[in-house]
Structure 1
Amino acid sequence: MNVAKETQTSTPPAKSDVSSPWREAWRTFKKNKIALVGASIVGFFIVLALFAPLIMPYDYTKPDLLNRLKGPSADHWFGTDDFGRDILSRVIYGARISLWVGFSSVAGSIIVGCTLGIIAGYYGKWVDILISRVFDILLAFPSILLAIAIVAILGPDLQNALIAIAIINVPNFGRLIRSKVLSVKEEEYITAAKSVGMSDFRLLFQHILPNSMTPIIVQGTLAVATAIIEIAALSFLGLGAQSPDVDWGKMLADSKQYLVNAPWTMIFPGLAIMLTVLGFNLMGDGLRDALDPKMKQ
């Protein structure tokens, strides 16, 4: 009787007490101070990119030959370049282009790579062999050389550089999601979904893909940092942003001859690249620790 009475009077745990995997991951991420520093750096540059026209103290394209190659001062905090343009304004606007290319190229890589990867992992056989060989061919080339080759064929342009960066990162996401699908598709709930006649499309995109996205989120964060370096390298070689557009790599290319006489023309865009990449790497490491069960004690 007492047992029955206790059973009847017991109440289910409150909804707020039930910890979802994502909520638990967020708690773990918040405890990682270094990851929060990385997220703060990324957030800072995202704000710069979004509100660049409002934040820039000067027009980033307007020359002022009377003030060319002036050092940092109260009027120009980061100094001026060889055309007298305000370097701070150009760094701020460069954040918009660099982050846009980084996020857009990685988004394209995730869409294409994940689509090919889940198809290869789910269907297997000759489909898996064909897609896997395509990935192997792309991975056989050094990534930056392959990007240069693609842009050389398509023509030097920011849009073509974005496409090239997206292409070279497709195999990384494709192979990652393929390996995850190979294990997820053997789970009992996938077998049960097949037994009730669920279509392959629904099975792939409503069950298998959502349960395979954890490593993609982590890899995607780290890939944005890599994409920013790659677009900077392409722009440095003259294959990325073209005038009047500017990104941090193009600023480095335009200022390399003034490294000795006006080092600030290269220091500040270089610092912007370093800090942004550092922020994404720190945040990506924090996400990996929070989302990977093997990293939890």
Structure 2
Amino acid sequence: MELSTNNQLQRPLEPVEEKAVSPWLEAWRSFRNNKLAVLGTLIVLFFILLAIFAPLIAPEGINEQNFEKRLLAPSSEHWFGTDDFGRDIFSRVVHGARISLWVGFLAVTGSIVVGCLLGILAGYYGKWVDTIISRFFDILLAFPSILLAIAIVAVLGPSLKNALIAIAIINIPNFGRLIRSRVLSVKQEEYILAAKAVGMKNSRILFHHVMPNSIAPIIVQGTLAIATAIIEAAALGFLGLGAEAPNPEWGKMLTDSRAFLVQAPWTMIFPGLAIMLTVLGFNLMGDGLRDALDPKMKN
């Protein structure tokens, strides 16, 4: 018995196999443990659900006018009060979520598609292609973004669609330069060099190897850019260059309520709060994604 016990004690311990954890799963765990990021995600989901179910949530039509009820203070009948046309502000703020989120998502999607395409071409092929595309980015970045957006809308004409186009254009260089720098790093990796050595086509290398390994910073930047796009859309609407009446766009609602700031401050407070909370949600979520996806941010 003693000999058997000694043999067991002298037997080397077998190494315990650790299960490999997916980088995306690890990022999700990090994101989930970030309370502010979760809070931001809940705020964003709240406004998305608000936009989806706006017809069911809004108690009145967005353009139903009743001059007998104009500029009423918030009450149980009208939670956010009424505007100078007697329209229910709560209903208009709820429907305004559709417009602001729609502009934010579509504008950023357009910026990502065009910016990433140009950035990938510049970073992968280099030489004169990189020079031309980089100078194009420099020209766009030479102008203050909001002034460039105003100039584009002034040329195209004031409308929500043209404001969306302008916002997409001014955000192209942000994504283009980001993906270009990432591609410059990725294309030097051994698996890219091996793919070239075996004769793989450039298009296949770009879309099957370079793009998937460059997408993480784009997700973070895209989330933060949606918040910026919502602010820019509100700014253009406030200047009368975005959504046209009677659309319940939050920036347009702010400019329409300027004359009643002292008499009926709720006409400006609630659209302003909607903008603030939506932008705050996207910023918190974007910061959480950056911390989860960027290895340099991890302890």
TM-score of the superposed pair, with normalisation by structure 2: 0.94
Partner of 2:221: 219
Q: Percent identity?
A: 72
Partner of 1:284: 286
Cα deviation, residue 246, structure 1: 1.9
Partner of 1:93: 95
Partner of 1:187: 189
Question: What are the Cα deviations for residues 30-89 of structure 1, in whole angstroms up to 9, with x where unaligned?
Answer: 100011111110110000011111111110111111100000000000000000000000
- Alpha-carbon distance in structure 1 between the residues aligned to 2:27 and 2:283: 18
Partner of 1:162: 164
What amino acid is the match of 1:183?
Answer: S
Cα deviation, residue 12, structure 1: 6.9
Partner of 1:198: 200
- Alpha-carbon distance in structure 2 between the residues aligned to 1:65 and 1:272: 25
What SS is found at the alignment partner of 2:243? coil
Aligned-CA RMSD value: 1.6
- Alpha-carbon distance in structure 1 between the residues aligned to 2:210 and 2:39: 33
TM-score of the superposed pair, with normalisation by structure 1: 0.95
The answer as to 2:56 corresponding to 1:32 is: no
What SS is found at the alignment partner of 1:114? helix
What SS is found at the alignment partner of 1:213? helix
- Alpha-carbon distance in structure 2 between the residues aligned to 1:244 and 1:205: 44
- Alpha-carbon distance in structure 2 between the residues aligned to 1:89 and 1:210: 42
Cα deviation, residue 244, structure 1: 2.7
Residue among 233, 240, 243 paired with 2:242: 240
In structure 2, stretches of 5+ residues that fail to align are 1-7
Cα deviation, residue 18, structure 1: 3.1
- Alpha-carbon distance in structure 2 between the residues aligned to 1:196 and 1:79: 68
Partner of 2:118: 116
Partner of 1:50: 52
What SS is found at the alignment partner of 2:257? helix
What amino acid is the match of 1:115?
Answer: L
Partner of 1:125: 127
The answer as to 2:212 corresponding to 1:210 is: yes
Residue among 247, 252, 255 paired with 2:254: 252
Residue among 230, 233, 236 paired with 2:232: 230
- Alpha-carbon distance in structure 2 between the residues aligned to 1:246 and 1:156: 16
Cα deviation, residue 206, structure 1: 1.0
What SS is found at the alignment partner of 2:165? helix
What amino acid is the match of 2:292?
Answer: A
- Alpha-carbon distance in structure 1 between the residues aligned to 2:214 and 2:197: 21
- Alpha-carbon distance in structure 1 between the residues aligned to 2:113 and 2:199: 27
- Alpha-carbon distance in structure 2 between the residues aligned to 1:163 and 1:295: 34
What amino acid is the match of 2:214?
Answer: S
What amino acid is the match of 2:171?
Answer: N
- Alpha-carbon distance in structure 1 between the residues aligned to 2:94 and 2:204: 43
Cα deviation, residue 10, structure 1: 9.2
- Alpha-carbon distance in structure 1 between the residues aligned to 2:289 and 2:296: 13
What amino acid is the match of 1:143?
Answer: S
Cα deviation, residue 196, structure 1: 1.2
What amino acid is the match of 2:54?
Answer: A
Cα deviation, residue 243, structure 1: 1.9
- Alpha-carbon distance in structure 2 between the residues aligned to 1:150 and 1:222: 23
